[in-house]
Structure 1
Amino acid sequence: MAAPEASRAGCKVIGYNMAGEFVTLKEGDNEFIVLADDPNKEGFSAACYHKDLEPFMARGRALKAEGKKHQEIFDIREEEMKAGKFNITSGATLHIYSGPKAEYDPATAKVDEAKLRYVVYLPWATAASTGLPEAPVASNHPWIMNPGTHRAHIMISPLTDESH
C-alpha cells in the first residue's frame, strides 16, 4: 500500500516471517522495494523506496540491530556517505504509509487512519539551495528536513481525501 498503485505488482517486499525474522517476502522486478509493516509494533507502518536506496536503508537496519541509537546511526551513516560508501541519488523517493491503528479494511483496501507521506532525498541540500523552509508552513506544505546533511530531504504530507 505504500507503493504507487501501478508499481505494486512488481515490487520486492521485505519484512517479517511468522518466526519474526527479517526476510524477503516477495522478489520483485521493478525499481521499488517495499518494507512491510512490523506486526510486533503498535500501529501500522509500511514504506516503499527506490532500490538504489537499499544499501543505505540496509545499513541503518544493521546498525539498529547492533543496538545503535538514532543519533549514532545518523552520525555513522553521515561519515560513511562522506567517505563515498553510499550514493543516495538526488531525488530518490521514499513513500511511507502509516497510522496509529493496524486494522486493514478489505472493502476499502486501506488501513484505518493510515496516511501517505513522501520523502524526496536531496543529500547536502539546504533551505538556501532549495528555497524550501526548514519547517512546514502548514500541515500539507513541503519543507526540508535535516538540511545540510547526508539525509537532507523534502518532506511532503499530502492532505487526505477527507481533507479536500
Structure 2
Amino acid sequence: MLDEHIGFFREGRMKAFIAGAALVLLMIPLTAASASALTKEEKIAQALLPLPEDLKGGAAIIEYDEKTGDRVVLRAGTNFVECTPKDKDGFAWCYNKVTAPRRDMTAKLRAQGKSDKEVTEGIQAAMKDGRLKPPPSGTMSYRYSDDPGRIKLLWVVSVPGATPESIGVSTESQRDAALKGNGRPWLMLPGTPGAHIMIPINPGPNADTK
C-alpha cells in the first residue's frame, strides 16, 4: 500500500493524516484476506519475493489474523528478517524484526475496528510515551509488486530526522522514472522521525522482469 507518489499507504487516502514515525510503521501492511486462498507453501514463496537470495533461507514468514490481530507464524526464522505475503494492494513485504512490536500493535488496533487515523494516532501515542521506539536509522524494508504499473522492487531505508541537506538525497519522487528503468533514490518526510529513503530497483523497459 505504499504509494510511490506521496509515500506510504493507500493512494491519496492516508496523505491527510499520516505523519512522523507512525508512518514508518504503517507502511508495513497486514496480510491480505485474499492470501488465505493460497497454500502455506505458496504464501511463503510469495512473501520471500522482495528479499536478496542470501536472506531468504533464514527469514521468518508471518501473517496476522484479521479478527484477533494475533500473529500467525507460517515459517520460523533464523535471521533478523520477517516477511509477509502480498497485502490488499498486491505488495509482499520484508522488514527487520526490530519493527515487530509496532506491527503487532497495528494489527491489534485494526482487529479492534480502529480506522487508519485511529491506528496512526495510537501508534504515535505509544511512541510518545515510550511503549514503542522508532526504528534505528538505516533500518531496511523491502517491497515487491508484480503489477506493471508499480515499482517492481522497492527498498525503503529509515533515516529518522534526516533532511536533503544532511544526507544529500532529493525529495522529488522518482516513481515515474523508476517505471521506465531510470529511477533514483528520493527522501520522504524529511526532518521527521518518519523520514525514509525510497530506493526503486526497477529494470530497464526492455529487461526481463520475471
TM-score interval w.r.t. the shorter chain?
A: 0.7 to 0.9
Instruction: Note the C-alpha offset of 1:163.
Output: 5.2
TM-score (norm 2): 0.60
Equivalent residue letter for 1:148: G
1:151 counterpart residue number: 194
Q: Is the 8 A contact 1:95 1:116 kept in 2?
A: yes
SS in 2 for 1:64: helix
TM-score (norm 1): 0.74
2:55 counterpart residue number: 7
Identity of aligned residues (%): 33
- Structure 2 matches for 1:10-159, cutoff 5 A? 10-15=58-63, 23-38=72-87, 41=88, 44-84=90-130, 85-100=132-147, 115-136=152-173, 138-139=177-178, 140-159=183-202
Decide whether aligned partners of structure 1 residues 16 and 87 sit closer, same or farther in structure 2, where only a CA change above 3 A counts: closer
Instruction: Note the C-alpha offset of 1:86.
Output: 1.5
Deviates more, 1:78-87 or 1:90-99: 78-87
CA distance in 2, matches of 1:88, 1:78: 13
Task: Let me know the Cα RMSD of the aligned residues.
Answer: 3.0
More helix by share: 2
Q: Which has the higher contact order (CA 8 A, sep 6+)?
A: 2
SS in 1 for 2:191: coil
Structure 1 residues without counterparts, runs of 5 or longer: 102-112
SS in 2 for 1:10: coil
Equivalent residue letter for 2:135: I
CA distance in 2, matches of 1:60, 1:93: 19
CA distance in 2, matches of 1:67, 1:60: 11
CA distance in 2, matches of 1:63, 1:8: 29
Deviations 1:27-82 (CA, angstroms, capped at 9, x unpaired): 001011011124xx3x6321111111111222222233333333443343234333
Decide whether aligned partners of structure 1 residues 117 and 163 sit closer, same or farther in structure 2, where only a CA change above 3 A counts: farther
CA distance in 2, matches of 1:63, 1:75: 10
CA distance in 2, matches of 1:154, 1:92: 10
Q: Is the 8 A contact 2:151 2:200 kept in 1?
A: no
More strand by share: 1
